[in-house]
Amino acid sequence: MAYTIDTAAAVERLEAAGVDTAAARAIVETVAVADDSLATKADLAALKADLTVRIIAAQVATATLLFAALRFL
């Protein structure tokens, strides 16, 4: 989920804090681009749920193979 950033206002705030215009624009652009690749809490929750299902499935498969192997001993 990308967040909306008012880049013009962000540049103005940085300039008001003493950052020169070129640096302010570069900072805001970097933050705006980096934001697209950040994971949200919802992204992490979905990943956790998916991994939990996969781990449980792997454990069930391992237990099934173990019991099948023990049956033939």
> What CA–CA distances, in Å, run from 73 to 7, 33, 64, 67?
69, 60, 15, 10
pTM exceeds 0.85 for this model = no
| Residue that is written with structure tokens 């003493």 in the block | 18
Over the chain, what is the mean pLDDT?
Answer: 90
b/e for 28-47, b at 16 or more Cβ within 10 A? beeeeeeeeeeeeeeeeeee
> What CA–CA distances, in Å, run from 7 to 42, 47, 68?
25, 31, 62
Checking if the pLDDT of 1 tops 70, the result is: no
DSSP character for 5? -
